[in-house]
Structure formats: structure tokens, C-alpha cells
Amino acid sequence: MAGVQRVAAKAAVVQRCQVHKIRNVIDHLPEEHRGDVRQKLRSAYGMREYADARRGLDLLLRELLELNPSAARSLEEGMKQTLTAPSWWMMLTLGLGGKQEIAAVEAPVCVVHLLGYFASPGFGQ
């Protein structure tokens, strides 16, 4: 990521993989909390508006600080970059060209993950 930002400077837009973020966060949790937290993350990432998604993630972050600080730190690390693009679908629909180049560090793997994620509610579990 640092190399992309060094070369592209402010033109670089980095979208972190939401599927990997969900997996990383729930890996810190005991089994009995995973389903609920997974659903809250999916709900936040499914929001159309940035402010709504951010609000959902911030609420979950506060909840995780009480429940499991390690999971909270995992969510907080790079959280803003999981909301860089409104959705991968928008990036796929609009293409990668235009005035601003999109540097998607994990794009090949994450696009496949998101295609599966949206096609199957159980993907990434």
C-alpha cells in the first residue's frame, strides 16, 4: 500500500477488502458472538451512503470495545479504507479509468470474494 501511495500520491484511492475485514474481526471473537457481529458488519458495508456505513461501523466499534478490545482494534485498523468506494459494484460498473486512477491493492482476490459474498449470504464464514 505504501508503494502505491508513494507513486500515485493523492491520486491513489485505496479500498481495503471488506470480506477480509469481516473475517479478521470475527476471528478475534468467541463463537457465540460471531454471527451477530458478522451481520452488523455486513449491514454497515451494505449501506449506500458513506455516513450511514461509518455510523454503523462506529457503533459496532464502541460495542466491541466492551465485548472484545482485540476485535475492536482489528475493526478500527484501516476501517476508513474499507469505505473508500461506495461499493465494489460501483467500481466494477464504472470501470477503473476516468480522471482518478483507482489503486486497488487487493483487487483481484477481493473482487472474487465480493462476487461470492453478494451471491451467497454464507460466504466468508
Average pLDDT, stretch 71-100?
Answer: 68
Q: What CA–CA distance (Å, rounded) separates 20 from 53? A: 17
pTM above 0.75, yes or no: no
Q: So what's the pLDDT on residue 83? A: 85
Domain boundaries, the chain: 2-119
pLDDT over 90 percentage in the chain: 40
C-alpha cell at 91: 467500481
The band of 118, judged by pLDDT with boundaries at 50, 70 and 90, is: very low
How far apart CA 5 and CA 117 sit, in angstroms, is: 28
Identify which has the larger pLDDT, 28 or 4: 28
